[in-house]
Each structure stands twice: as structure tokens, then as C-alpha cells.
Amino acid sequence: MKLAARVGKVLPSLTLGISAKAKAMKADGIDVCSLSAGEPDFDTPEHIKAAAQKALDIGYTKYGPAGGEPKLKEAIANKLSQENGLNYKAENIIVTNGGKHSLFNLMLALIEPGDEVIIPAPYWLSYPEMVKLAGGTPIILTTDAETAYKITPEQLRQGITNKTKLLVLNSPSNPTGVVYQPEEIKALAEVVVEQNILVVSDEIYEKIIYDDTQHLSIGAVNSEIFKNTIVSNGFAKTYSMTGWRVGYLAAPVKLINATVKIQGHSTSNVCTFAQYGAIAALDSSQDCIEQMRQAFAKRRHIIYDLLNAMPGISCNQPDGAFYIFVNISKISSSSLEFCNALLEDQNVAVIPGVAFGADDHIRISYATDLVTIEKGMDRLQQFVRSRT
Ligand code: GLU
């Protein structure tokens, strides 16, 4: 059987692969510390589950509009206007099967062979693969710990050619935990407008930020950049709803209509009763977010201190998300070798930085309980010691 050439161009998802391997090892009775997937360990808040259960009971079990339940689109548009200063209406929203799917729809609607998409590295591993699947060319702008893993406006300007269509911005960032400060966002926005390219702002971690860090959505900088902006977000991380698969894209109507057309021929609507859970998430008290954020903040503190005390490795303190990105170049010349050996020797699962375009790093997720974090760090320390 000859597979389509496009499949040969993409890599499998290492985040999903390693998390599945860790889960399988656990199921086999092995005491694994899984610090791999970016999946909050909390259950979905009760009121959200109750709303979906009620929707099921009253028969919201049928097809709905491909682009999403009108009530949910309305609630998302309100959230974006009120919280983010983005003047969207329901017609600017498509509800998708998770944040990943919203980005995938976007790439299919926008990118064609010859188009270049700028992706700052370290990047979330699916961005370049989605661009390639759509036939485009990912252009990677590298950053390192010295520049706090952030691109500069100058770097962006230099990366732009007459083929550039889109910049992918992800703040707070997976995998580095970096958050671009409002002035930095404004400076990047200036380049986007000046060069007349589009920007997709992946804001899936917007609520998970620490200390006095602020999140500014690039589209809110001024009315000019707003026209060039697409926002991707979802419910998975903010409300601990990873398995529900509800995300969304906000953009000019023409682009949203194009993504609805694509979705109409691929997945159709997102699970109807899951969308009612999402409506409840937006319409009810937001206290659950703060409770989870505080738990992540405590874990961040503990894991950072433990890692900082380990000789041979180094990391920056993250400002957001629930990942810490650790330089392991003094221990191994291959992040994949490091992660495989760590899993085999110590039963600790983390993600190799090569998946995110940084082979001298590993990504540790602290979206898990403190006992697992502390045990995992203890084992990591033994592993690092055995190699230094
Ligand atoms: N986004 C999460 C992560 O990076 C979930 C896995 C995935 O979708 O890649 O771990």
C-alpha cells in the first residue's frame, strides 16, 4: 500500500506517544512518575459536568450546527470582548474539537504550497506538522535561555519574506512557560502590521500565569492589528477539560466561514452535550480557575527549587503554563536518549526537547500532584548524579 506523501513529511506526536507509554506502564503495575503530558490532574469542576449531564438528559444528543451551538459562540464572543478587549461577535467564532483542531482548521483554510509560516522555537510540537500537512513551509526562529526564549521584533522582521503569510505566537508558551510582556507584544504587533502578515495567537494557557505576570492578547493592541489577528483558545487547560475536546477560533468572518466549510466535511459539530458543559464553564463562577492556578503556582515553586539545586542541569523559572524547560546539554547530547534512559532506569516520563525544536532540553510538566512531582524529582536527581 502506498501512503500519501504528506504522511511521510510529518512526525508522530511525542507528547501523546510518551504519555500513552507512561499510562500503559502504570497499567502494568509499574510505579511510573508521569511528568509528560500537559494535562491538569484535577477533575472537571462539578457544575460543568452537571450541565453536560443535564444536556444529555434533555436530549441534546443530535447533530448541531457545524460551527458550534449559537449560545456557546455567543458566550465565547462575550468572554473575548470582556476579558481580552477583542471586539468579536458570535459570527467571528467557530467551536472546534479542541484547541489543536482549531489550529488545524486554520492551517487548512489559510495555508497553501509556497506559503511560509513563522514559528518561534521552542514551539509546541504540532505547529510545524500542521503547517506541513497544509502544504506550507514552517520557518523556525530560534531562541534560547539568554533571550528568555522570546523572539525580538528585529528577529521577526528578518524572518519575514514575500512568502510569509502567518506568525504563530504562543504566550504563555508550551514548552517554555514564557509569557511575553505587554510591551513585547506591542512591539511584535507593530512588525506584523508594518509587514502586513497575519498572526495566530494561541492563548490556551492564558489563565495559568504567576506572580505579577500579565497576559495581553495581541489583537487587543489596536484596531489595525485586530484585523490581522486570529485567536485560538479552548477549555482543556483552563477548566481541566482535556478529554471533552472543546476549543475555538476567533477571526474575521470570511476566515471563520472557510473553517466552518472545512469542519462541515470533516468532524461536523463538536459533541453537542459537551458544548453545554462549555457554556456552563463560561457562564458560571470562575473561582475554579483560581483554585487550580494556585495549586500550579505552588507546584511551580517547588519544582523550580528542586531543579535549581541539581548540579549539571539548568532552567528558567516559568511565568506561565505548567511546564518547566530544562537544559540537559551537560548530561546528554540527545534529549531522546536522555528521556528514554530516564524512563527505563528511573520510571520517570518527561518529553524530549527535540520534539519542540530544542534537542538540548527536556520538558517537565507539573500538572500533576505534589507527591509525584517530588518523587519524580528525587529520581531525576539520582539519574543526573549517576551521569555526572
Ligand atoms: N498540549 C498538551 C501537551 O503538550 C497535550 C498533548 C498534545 O496535545 O500534544 O502535552
**Protein residue with least CA distance to atom 5, ligand 1:** 38
65 three-state secondary structure: coil
Q: Is 81 in the pocket of ligand 1 (CB under 6 A)?
A: no
Ligand 1: centre distance to CA 183 (Å): 28
- DSSP secondary structure letter of residue 243: G
C-alpha radius of gyration, the chain, whole number: 21
User: Could you tell me the pLDDT band of residue 18, with boundaries at 50, 70 and 90?
Assistant: confident
Q: Is 11 in the pocket of ligand 1 (CB under 6 A)?
A: no
Pick the CATH number of 62-283 from 3.10.150.10, 3.40.640.10, 3.40.50.1970, 3.40.50.1440: 3.40.640.10
CA-to-CA distance for 279 and 319, rounded, in angstroms?
A: 29
Q: Which atom of ligand 1 is nearest to the CA of 126?
A: 9
Quick check: 15 pLDDT over 90? Answer: no
**Protein residue with least CA distance to atom 3, ligand 1:** 38
What residues contact residue 115 under an 8 Å CB cut-off, 6+ apart?
135, 136, 137, 163, 164, 165, 166
- Four-residue CA torsion sign, 273, 275, 280, 281: positive
The per-residue pLDDT for range 228-282, each reduced to its tens digit, is 999 999 999 999 999 999 999 999 999 999 999 999 999 999 999 999 999 999 9
CATH topology of domain 5-44+287-387: Aspartate Aminotransferase, domain 1 (3.90.1150)
Ligand 1: centre distance to CA 168 (Å): 16
- Four-residue CA torsion sign, 373, 377, 383, 388: positive
**Protein residue with least CA distance to atom 9, ligand 1:** 15
Q: Where are the domains of the chain?
A: 5-44+287-387, 62-283
Cell digits for 34? Answer: 508521569
Report whether 325 contacts 315 (CB < 8 A). yes
Cell digits for 133? Answer: 500537512
User: Could you tell me the pLDDT band of residue 13, with boundaries at 50, 70 and 90?
Assistant: confident
Q: Is 100 in the pocket of ligand 1 (CB under 6 A)?
A: yes
Residue 222, H or E segment: none
User: Could you tell me the pLDDT band of residue 223, with boundaries at 50, 70 and 90?
Assistant: very high
The per-residue pLDDT for range 314-366, each reduced to its tens digit, is 999 999 999 999 999 999 999 999 999 999 999 999 999 999 999 999 999 99
Alpha helices in 309-355 (DSSP H): 335-346
Q: Is 13 in the pocket of ligand 1 (CB under 6 A)?
A: yes
CA-to-CA distance for 324 and 376, rounded, in angstroms?
A: 14
